[in-house]
Structure 1
Amino acid sequence: MATLNVERENMVSSTDIVRNFSKMLDKSKETPVFIMRNNDIEGIIMDIEEYEMLLEKIEYLENQLEDAYIMKELKERKERFDIKDAVKEDEVMDLLD
């Protein structure tokens, strides 16, 4: 898992969030705001456009991973393929009738 590197100025207590929500929401347009409770990061407020961009990146990377898996599987199947194991065209046609 990636290490979270957060600047102190972007860390606020949950109490500050409650007291200054509108201000913190405005700040989140510039940079993510990390919400602290009991000296641990418990949450984050971030700009919706940045959040949507992250979701798009995740989807793109998941697709790349899936494509790589499919290509690897196809390559392995091609290497193991033996023509004598193939189904003949007339056998397929018989199944369709």
Structure 2
Amino acid sequence: MSNIDKATVAKIARLARIKIEDQKLAPLAGELNQILNWVEQLDEVNTDNVAPMASVVDAKLRWRSDEITDGDKQESVLKNAPKAEYGFFAVPKVIE
């Protein structure tokens, strides 16, 4: 059984660069302990004969024909650009 205290929550918050007020440390410690207890319960479930799956829904991927198409959509794509030059997106210089 995991037991996270206020000091551990404060350390995690500092490492993650998240500012947490002192009065919120105890409730967060309780929530984290509940989450870890739930994960420990899941760890007790026997999954030896369960096949790995990518989704809980038994779905098959739909195949599409692999055809080469000429996009020819440069003008319509560049309409989305804030600024375009010479047929390309224009961006400000980042490195000086």
Q: Give me the TM-score of the superposition, normalised by structure 1.
A: 0.31
Query: Higher RCO, 1 or 2 (CA under 8 Å, sep at least 6)?
Result: 2
Larger relative strand fraction: 1
Larger relative helix fraction: 1
